[in-house]
């Protein structure tokens, strides 16, 4: 099993493996090209994103700067907007649904390290996937930690640190994030008062 296979399977892997280093360099070069492309050349930016990401839907827009580890493990649905400073460490899959908005300076991190000091010194890593449902809004300076799943229509308040998964139709906030309110879905009918 290659180090890339181990990484994608959530097993311990060596990040210094030549194949992984080559993949990260390729992603960084594309990210660098994207980040340097003029705001007047939106079609060129979109082409770069399509070659960098594993998959992206129609109407995707990311403000520079955008950085990622590999790019190929990122899957974004249609009607996506991310503001300045998005970082996605995609050693594992990151799947983002349709109609999602991400505010500035958000970090989405699948990569993690062992708690054991000796394993950490050996530079062993592993990763856990992150899934974000449809119609989510992630506020500014949010951190989403490895292994988190957010359901559909989740609003994450600015500055939240998301350390666990949450279901549909909630607003979460804090460090660590917790539910502060449930959202009534837009297509449901409110009872008469």
Q: Which of 24, 28, 78, 113 is catalytic?
A: 113
In the chain, what are the domains? 3-182 (2.160.10.10)
Q: What is the pLDDT of residue 98?
A: 98
Least confident of 111-115, 157-161, 168-172, 183-187: 183-187
Q: For 73-125, write each residue's pLDDT tens digit.
A: 999 999 999 999 999 999 999 999 999 999 999 999 999 998 999 888 988 99
pLDDT tens, residue by residue, 79-89 = 999 999 999 99
CA-to-CA separations, 126 to 62, 82, 112, in angstroms, rounded: 27, 26, 6
C-alpha–C-alpha distance, residues 151 and 174, integer Å: 18
pLDDT for position 188: 54
pTM attached to this predicted model: 0.93
The verdict on whether 113 is a catalytic residue reads yes
Q: Is the pLDDT of residue 24 over 70?
A: yes
Neighbours of 57 (CB within 10 A): 15
Give the mean pLDDT of the chain.
95
């Amino acid at each position: 099993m290659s180090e890339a296979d181990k990484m994608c399977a959530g097993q311990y892997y060596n990040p210094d493996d030549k194949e992984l280093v080559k993949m990260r360099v390729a992603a960084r070069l594309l990210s660098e090209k994207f980040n340097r492309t003029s705001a007047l050349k939106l079609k060129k930016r979109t082409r770069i994103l399509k070659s960098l990401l594993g998959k992206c839907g129609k109407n995707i827009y990311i403000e520079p700067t955008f950085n990622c580890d590999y790019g190929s493990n990122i899957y974004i649905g249609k009607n996506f907007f991310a503001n300045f400073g998005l970082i996605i460490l995609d050693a594992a899959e990151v799947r983002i649904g349709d109609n999602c908005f991400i505010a500035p300076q958000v970090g989405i991190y699948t990569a993690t390290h062992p708690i054991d000091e000796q394993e950490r010194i050996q530079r062993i890593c592993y990763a856990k996937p992150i899934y974000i449902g449809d119609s989510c809004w992630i506020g500014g300076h949010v951190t989403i930690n490895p292994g988190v799943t957010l359901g559909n229509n989740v609003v994450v308040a600015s500055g939240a640190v998301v350390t666990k998964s949450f279901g549909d139709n909630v607003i979460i906030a804090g460090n660590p994030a917790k539910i502060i309110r449930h959202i009534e879905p837009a297509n449901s009918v409110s009872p008469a008062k």
